[in-house]
Structure 1
Amino acid sequence: MNRIDLSPLYRSSVGFDRLASLLDSTLRGEQNSSGGYPPYDIEILDENKYAITIAVAGFEQDELDIQTEKGVLTVRGRKADSDQERNFLHQGIAYRAFERKFNLADYVEVIDANMNNGLLTINLVKEIPEAMKPKKISIGKSEAKTIEHQSDKSEQAA
């Protein structure tokens, strides 16, 4: 197992601890991945708009759960127990439970989710607060002013 040492990042930077933790958990998660089930796409729709599409064939809307917490989008699917017993000659459609996690950048929020033809699409937008947006600072012309010391005034009065 190749392990990347992120300690130099912690030693030489301030405020990037979330990034380092994200890298560390992503590298660990790749090794523990469940084989890529269910498959998904991440798409850029516009400068600040994204979509995640997950293939959830065989799942109903009420068997899916979508949550965001602390910058992580989690999508879970769990098939409801069926009373109908079926005898398969071949079963190639996976109805197994799943959990997919996506780390969201700062200010990325889920707008909505839609399901169509076995594809779950989650729409996201990056909305940077006004206080965080770049601002143009105008430069004014200052006039040179003479500042007199209190001691200079007292000498002149004497």
Structure 2
Amino acid sequence: MTLPFKPHLIALVCSAGLFAASGVLYVKSRAPEAPAQAATPAPEQTQTAVPAPVAKTTFTTAQIDQWVAPVALYPDALLSQVLMASTYPANVVQAVQWSRDNPTLQGDAAIQAVASQPWDPSVKSLVAFPQLMALMGENPQWVQNLGDAFLASHRM
């Protein structure tokens, strides 16, 4: 029996087709979807407050390096908590003040003592490290800048 096509050629063509189809599906899954609003007109709104569009903040590499440098060599787990906590600068200021008021509490004892505070969990976890709290308390603007840069990097 003679086949007009060799089986390995058919397998190769099918494999190439599947590969191309999976590539197309991947690209489509990564593309942002357009909002589907054209079909129904929006009802008229009477003087509702529209938030001002947020300007896209970009930071230079030098700025980010300068802000991250004081904490760059911390272990990754602690660094991630510092970055998250910096997005709550008001909580950090309160935690710094609490740390100054309670210098004898460190480690797990400090974390348990602030468990009832309304702070973000990342801020609560940092009170275990009084030296870090002192560093963050020295320059609140640095904490603000670090948090802004961290948030801006996740909006992209």
Higher RCO structure, 1 or 2 (CA under 8 Å, sep 6+): 2
TM-score by length of 1: 0.20
Larger Rg belongs to: 1
Higher percent of residues as helix: 2
| TM-score between the two structures when normalised by the length of structure 2 | 0.20
Higher strand share: 1
